[in-house]
Every structure is written in C-alpha cells, then in structure tokens.
Amino acid sequence: MRTLTTLTHRLCTSLLLLLLPTLAHANLPKAANVPGGVAIVQLGNTLTHKQKPQAWFGEQPVLVTADLKSWYAVIGLPLNTKPGRYKLNVTMGNKSKVLNFRVKNKKYPEQRIVIEDKGKVELNPEDEARAVRDIATIKQLKLHWRDAQDTDLSFIIPAEGRLSGNFGLRRFFNGQARSPHAGMDVAVGRGTPVMSSAPGTVLAVDDYFFNGKTIFVDHGNGLITMYCHLDQFDVKDGDTVSKGQQLGLSGMTGRATGPHLHWSVILNGAMVDPALFIVKQELGKHKLLTN
C-alpha cells in the first residue's frame, strides 16, 4: 500500500511539472513590503489548483508564478505607496477571492546633485514640451502587458561595474527637488557592453530628453527592464534577446553628470528596487551600496 501511495505521489508530481510554467521553480525576488518594493502573496496550492490563477492589484494585472507547492502573486509597489493594508483580487478557476497584505513605511536617503548644464534642470518651452511627451510615452510602456508562460525572475546585473546611485534616493538637482531615483546606477565608462538581465523581447528603443538613449526589454507578465543613458543601440524593437545578450553600449546621453548605466525594473507598472531581483552569485561580483 505504501509503495502504491509513493508511486501515485510521484506520478502526480511529474504531471504537475508538465502543467506548470517552464520557469515556475525559478527563484522568487526578495520580498520587501515597502514603497518601491515587491510583495509576494501566496495564492493557493498547485495540487489543488492546477490552473494558473489570475491576480490584480487595483486595475493592473499581476505576475503569477509557482514552485512545486504553491502559486504566488509577485506585486510591484510604487514608490508613492502609503503604509497600510492593501487588497489583491484573485481568480482561481471559477472562484474569486480577495487577499490582504500590508505595506510598511520606508524612508529613503537624500541625494544632492549639481548639474552644470542648467538647461537639463530649468527647461525652455521646447525642451519641456519634449520632456512631457517622453514622460507620457514611457508611462504607457510601463503599463505594457504580455502574457507569457515563463518569466525568469533571477536577474543578472547588466554591466560589469560597481553598483551605485541607490534606488529610491530622494534627489535634488541644483537644489531643486525632483522625482526619486527609480532605478540603480552601474558605474561604468563609456562604451561598456550593456546586457539584458533576463530573456525577453525588446519593447522599445528610443532617445528621450532625460533618459537619453534607452532600451526597454519586456520579460512577460508585466515585468520590464529599462537601460538608460546608452551611447549605442545593438538591438531594435521586436528583437528576441537572451539573458546576457548585448543590448548596446553605455554612455552619458540625456540628463547625466558622467558616463554610467541607469538600470530600472518595472513590475505591474511600478518602478521597483532592482536589487530584489539580483541572484546572490551576482552580488559577489559587484560592490552593492545599500540604503
């Protein structure tokens, strides 16, 4: 009887592996229920609910993945999220439910930057109009959603350099308050290869007023990476890229005080801390500045 039970369990596990997404067992990002962080909410058992659930945070669909036991919603929390209790709407098969999770407060440090090109801080009407158009375009790109069976959540750092310019810094340019730093900077010289952090499809390649030459890579299910201030593009819209594939070369285009790579991670429309997605092996290769 015990042998039969063991055999049945193994058969069920094997069938489950076939039914789950290819990368369902990939590492989850580090959970951080804070503004600019990632909340991970357990949705249910994969043996009980074999069909992939759907989840929404507000009106935005949320990435759902699984390991061998459970389904999880991986939720990006915008930097302006207030502390408190939030709702996640979930559909599992023909049943719907609401799950609650909490967000804690986090105070990010300040960063004061002097930019010699005052035209990048106090914009003339023409530059301001262009910047407004760029911001609207980028907002739409951030909300992009593509259903994908597999989403790799274990990122590599996209360039060989020291990690600096921490995520979430409250920035002041020439003494004027500006938006928080919604990414991570990699200190590299001009012409350094910039690689895709994970497999995906190139969503957009363009030159923006503040971000300079920028590439967006769509990794599926609302997970997007953004690479800014580039000097050269090596891919075009619609290209399929693999993890570690060269996207372009670093530079200092746009609003930048020197050559570097600005790297952002977008999850269900929210800019979140890229450090939460970096696998431990990668951190050993770079000096990571922590808030």
CA distance 1 to 248: 60
Is 286's pLDDT higher than 60?
A: no
Structural domains in the chain plus CATH codes: 2-103 (2.60.40.1590), 110-283 (2.70.70.10)
Q: How far apart are the first and last CA of the chain?
A: 56
Q: Enter the DSSP assignment of 30.
A: P
Token pair recorded at residue 189? 């010289």
Per-residue HEC secondary structure of 52-101 comes to: CCEEEECCEECEEEECCCEEEEEEECCCCCCCEEEEEEEEECCEEEEEEE
- What's the predicted TM-score (pTM) here? 0.84
pLDDT tens, position by position, 69-111: 999 999 999 999 999 999 999 999 889 999 999 999 998 876 6
CA dist 216 and 188 (Å) reads 19
pLDDT over 70 percentage in the chain: 79
List pLDDT tens digits, range 159-211. 999 988 788 887 555 555 556 788 999 999 999 999 999 999 999 999 999 99
Average pLDDT taken over every residue of the chain: 85
Q: What 3-state class would DSSP assign to 6?
A: helix
